[in-house]
Amino acid sequence: MREVSPLVKNCVAVTGKIDAARSMLFVHGFGTDQRVWADIASEFRKDYRLILCDNAGAGHSSPDFFVASRYQTLHGYARDLINICDSLGLRNITAVGHSAGGMMCLLASIARPDLFSKLVLICASPRYLDDAGYHGGFSQADIQSLYDTASQEYEEWANGFAAQVMQNPERPELARRFAGELKAIPPHHALTVLCSILQSDHRQELNKVSRPTLLIHSAQDLAVPRSVADYMRREIPASKLEMIDATGHLPHVSAPGQVIDAMRRFGL
């Protein structure tokens, strides 16, 4: 495939205060796209240049750009973020990433610390699989069961997965919307992304982060237990952990005000 601009490949949108000295880059997690940031981004539009993007193969990014060999690990996505920032000539960036998107931001900041000033990682995890002395939240049997179900009946799996990770059963419209976004992803792409996320282990890279980092975690999150949040706080230098009064793995959707308040307390 011919080389395409990162801005086209990742459907980059630049909004907010276009001439601002500070930029804020938003990176979504699995199953969503840049639209998921609407409530959060609007809060910062007067003070920051806002950069929103779709990860390769997600949202309005063409499935043709999703090359499985590039995205078998999160490093491929991190390279995409760096390419976006370089294409726009950005510096002094606060990177805001959810879940796997948070780890993409973290990896990009390690590779190119000159681009970034701060990180905000929402419900991120360096490893989901349990290990000796480490509770990631999933056993190997859990992950295999997830793969098997998603492979056999993707739409049914998407409905159940969305409800499970969104939680907030009193607001079923949130899970329905998330399930719809999951179903829009070609199943074979979704399985590749799930594998790159659930089999990843970035614990050894946490202490390489050189930028002030805010860790935002929900008080109740079935995908990322409190033990992971505490682990990241210990391992990432100059990091601050905010446990917010929210339920579910997508608090920027279910409790955007809590996320914004935490970001404001971080000096943003």
Q: Catalytic positions, please?
A: 99, 221, 249
Q: Angle, to 10 degrees, between the axis of helix 154-166 and the axis of helix 172-183?
A: 140
Question: What number of CA atoms fall less than 13 Å from residue 225's CA on the CB side?
Answer: 10
* Token output for 34: 């840049």
Name which of 166, 156, 251 is nearest 263 in CA terms. 251
Q: Which two tokens stand for residue 243?
A: 């446990």
> What tokens were used for 102?
């948070």
Q: Are 106 and 209 in contact (CB under 8 A)?
A: yes
- Helix H or strand E segment including 253: helix 251-254
What's the angle, vertex CA 92, arms to CA 88 and CA 98, rounded to 5?
85
In angstroms, the first-to-last Cα distance of the chain is 40
Contact between residue 207 and residue 155 where contact means Cβ atoms under 8 Å apart: no
